[in-house]
Structure 1
């Protein structure tokens, strides 16, 4: 069937990177060159509609006239076309830089995928041996279900699922059912439906700067399956160990450890320490360059360059987990690392943070050397991801409904973050909050206790979810984002049951121990995840306790109550 051309609508995000401000006129030329580059690399395919000049100017922090002049110049050069009521689009016939480079690998993978779709009993090539644990490994310890009796939920790593766009999803699903061709209801390409891969390639290129053709995208059941497939393929190609950031998600550690040795690499204010990585025997590394989880730092430009150099020298693989790259507030978005080295960086993501984990859809942007084995591994794992959900997501992307939902959620999450920052500044003046420029969570670092003791698994879970992560060498050197001015949020928006005290002295006062914090949170319906949930290895005795606060998790109407419960419990500790 013909490959559909993605349709972009006004008001969409567009990631283009401009250099530093210079002399008069360079901003216009920078916009022009950035758009030329995006078109050459295929991130803006022929026929793609660009944002309105007003929208792009707002995103870039430029005047509308500057963007309008850049559009006019590119129209004159033939890169763009403008038509009344049709907006400004990329002109047809513009060659992409990636087409010829990936043609051979694409043809091979397509042949294999077609063979598998034609006869699912006969895989096109020998498949790597996979067990269920490699494709959907259970976290450690095993998940025990939702928290019992929870009144408040501030656990990190989750979106507000009550805001799932039910009406838009229902419309998209209905259209998918009514308009899907008959062959969509049978066995298909293990990579996923071409409609979704085409829409995703356009979206990821436009918003995250990812350089990938639809034929090199593989649709999977979220990042969990993506990581399981990757570790299985790595093991089958001779990789013996994978490096993982410390701290990191324990589930990711468990999945990787099922097939590979795991090497810890610490994180500081510049991100993953590449020098430590180079000292290991790892042949691959899993990292979160745009917004490290849970610390919230971005990989610095120097570290990005060093990491790519490591991959070239080691002949290694970089797995880029872009888990919340669409949520940024006080800074320009950080583009995907994959754009700088598509043949070395495996870009993976999902819609678990943007829509919700109930829709089990994710993706892998496959380097050419990994495409065929990943397609084979996916075929063996589950043959294909749910087709109707794929078509519904493609509809959301093409119609602009997905972008509209993200814009709505970004505004709401920013308001929650602002309230958290203002409330902490007013009520916990000796606390420090970091990692607030992007994402769905923040680090709330509390004053150190005289002799803090590392939390152990003997402290049970309770109900308002938040993660206690004491961390000295990492958090103490973590960059502190600019504090949001107190005028940003009216005083009346502070939870009313928390009243600032004027008796707190300004000099340093020893803080509570982590055992006291855990007990206070438990008494206030707070369920605490302990240090072992994120940080591996010993923690210094003087480490300041810190909370990873997931401000996106509660529903909008429940957030103030959850924040009230959290800060009241902490303030009562003195």
Structure 2
């Protein structure tokens, strides 16, 4: 390892070396477990005798900053964090015994071996240009693979030149809001609070639009620049947007020159119904399609995509360029390889079967006395309860973490319920 330390000129060599090493350990520049250079090598680099370095090491071992074992070299000892107090006690400090909060896939099902093979093949075949700065739209290999997959599996009209690769749906939503230059964005009520905050922080003004048993209430829309919807499996109610509402929504967008943003976050997962195609296929010129690998593979990949109407490709690409320039390349190439070889399809089908079994077990445990919604598809369910606060308190006392419907309303909502993961 290279070690950057600098004894002060007016210090003795040994004292200066001890002080420099001690400071490096204290301020974290030398992390616990880091192996120090051999005494002979460090002596040569610093222009001091090997005996001076050994004496400094021995002193810091005696003080507890370093540890030394025969044949293992000298390493930095673990130290307590600065300002660390005693461990917290009480129910709030304990992790739940069972976590049914929604929002994440089963990351334990990540196909690590398949992904590793895809990375190896992608890197072996990658041109030299793959290691340069990337196109803000993303690698053409992935855009072409997505065009084929989205058209086949989700009914999306997705020419590669209208696909932009992002670090996830959140970035896509933020980029669009920036392009709308602070316009009004209607968002489902109830809906995900974090998404509302993303729009606000990107400069948009958020207004609610009600969701009922048929999906978003199109008649509630006034004159927003855009409306964000989850038509395949509404979050958190689990409603699928009714065909009549789909037509009304796309007609509204055409008549007003407005934008519909379709968040298809879990559209691949269906259990008791035929696949419902993406809304974007009905109106490619008015709908922005947001997709992501976070729910199918894992959030750690930070890979998502947008399918844009033609007039938005250039401005959104410019916003991407001035946001983070481009999404990392090697992950794009690996995902393209997964899709091209249909390993992605196989993984999604395997997850679908696994999640369906877990869904069935959850519904069985809940019993017939509970009204459960949204279980025909997706990664979560809504369970009706009469007293949400009481149920949440009882669940917490039993070590069970669940999602609350109350926190999803823009303001106070009259309906109460629990939002449960179907997959944990």
| TM-score where L is the length of structure 1 | 0.56
- Show the counterpart of 1:364: 306
Q: Does 1:525 align with 2:396?
A: no
CA–CA separation in structure 2 for the residues paired with 1:212 and 1:514: 42
Within 5 Å, give how 1:74-473 maps onto structure 2: 149-235=95-181, 240-258=183-201, 259-277=203-221, 280-425=222-367, 429-446=368-385, 448=386
CA-to-partner distance for each residue in 1:545-573, whole Å, 9 max, x for gaps?
Answer: 42111021x2xxxxxxxxxxxxxxxxxxx
Q: Report the alpha carbon displacement of residue 531 of structure 1 after superposing the two structures with TM.
A: 4.3
5+ residue gaps, structure 2, are 1-92
Q: Report the alpha carbon displacement of residue 515 of structure 1 after superposing the two structures with TM.
A: 3.1
Q: Report the alpha carbon displacement of residue 434 of structure 1 after superposing the two structures with TM.
A: 1.2
CA–CA separation in structure 1 for the residues paired with 2:94 and 2:346: 34
Q: Report the alpha carbon displacement of residue 283 of structure 1 after superposing the two structures with TM.
A: 1.4
Secondary structure, counterpart of 2:392 in structure 1: helix
CA–CA separation in structure 1 for the residues paired with 2:232 and 2:322: 32
CA–CA separation in structure 2 for the residues paired with 1:314 and 1:202: 31
Q: Report the alpha carbon displacement of residue 443 of structure 1 after superposing the two structures with TM.
A: 1.2
User: Does the 8 Å CA contact 2:405/2:417 hold for their aligned counterparts?
Assistant: no
CA–CA separation in structure 1 for the residues paired with 2:154 and 2:402: 33
Worse-superposed segment, 184-193 or 197-206:
184-193
- Show the counterpart of 1:108: none
* 1:338/1:515 CA distance change after superposition, 3 Å: closer
CA–CA separation in structure 1 for the residues paired with 2:192 and 2:311: 27
CA–CA separation in structure 1 for the residues paired with 2:330 and 2:122: 6
The higher radius of gyration belongs to 2
Secondary structure, counterpart of 1:189 in structure 2: coil
5+ residue gaps, structure 1, are 1-146, 449-512, 555-574
CA–CA separation in structure 2 for the residues paired with 1:360 and 1:240: 27
Secondary structure, counterpart of 1:381 in structure 2: coil
CA–CA separation in structure 2 for the residues paired with 1:531 and 1:441: 12
CA–CA separation in structure 2 for the residues paired with 1:148 and 1:345: 44
CA–CA separation in structure 2 for the residues paired with 1:386 and 1:157: 24
CA–CA separation in structure 1 for the residues paired with 2:359 and 2:329: 36
Q: Report the alpha carbon displacement of residue 151 of structure 1 after superposing the two structures with TM.
A: 2.6
Worse-superposed segment, 175-184 or 161-170:
175-184
CA-to-partner distance for each residue in 1:503-526, whole Å, 9 max, x for gaps?
Answer: xxxxxxxxxx33321221111112
User: Does the 8 Å CA contact 2:168/2:302 hold for their aligned counterparts?
Assistant: yes
Q: Report the alpha carbon displacement of residue 179 of structure 1 after superposing the two structures with TM.
A: 1.6
- Show the counterpart of 1:536: 410
User: Does the 8 Å CA contact 2:402/2:420 hold for their aligned counterparts?
Assistant: no
CA–CA separation in structure 2 for the residues paired with 1:212 and 1:291: 21
- Show the counterpart of 1:547: 418
CA–CA separation in structure 1 for the residues paired with 2:413 and 2:280: 33
Q: Report the alpha carbon displacement of residue 346 of structure 1 after superposing the two structures with TM.
A: 0.4
CA-to-partner distance for each residue in 1:4-57, whole Å, 9 max, x for gaps?
Answer: xxxxxxxxxxxxxxxxxxxxxxxxxxxxxxxxxxxxxxxxxxxxxxxxxxxxxx
Secondary structure, counterpart of 2:165 in structure 1: strand
* 1:528/1:416 CA distance change after superposition, 3 Å: closer
CA–CA separation in structure 2 for the residues paired with 1:528 and 1:419: 16
| Cα RMSD, aligned residues only | 1.6
- Show the counterpart of 1:17: none
Q: Report the alpha carbon displacement of residue 413 of structure 1 after superposing the two structures with TM.
A: 0.5
CA–CA separation in structure 2 for the residues paired with 1:288 and 1:149: 31
Secondary structure, counterpart of 2:289 in structure 1: strand
* 1:320/1:409 CA distance change after superposition, 3 Å: same
| TM-score where L is the length of structure 2 | 0.76
CA–CA separation in structure 1 for the residues paired with 2:390 and 2:213: 28
CA–CA separation in structure 2 for the residues paired with 1:515 and 1:387: 46
CA–CA separation in structure 1 for the residues paired with 2:260 and 2:396: 39
Q: Report the alpha carbon displacement of residue 532 of structure 1 after superposing the two structures with TM.
A: 4.7
Secondary structure, counterpart of 1:200 in structure 2: helix
CA–CA separation in structure 2 for the residues paired with 1:260 and 1:335: 29
CA–CA separation in structure 2 for the residues paired with 1:240 and 1:215: 26
CA–CA separation in structure 1 for the residues paired with 2:275 and 2:364: 24
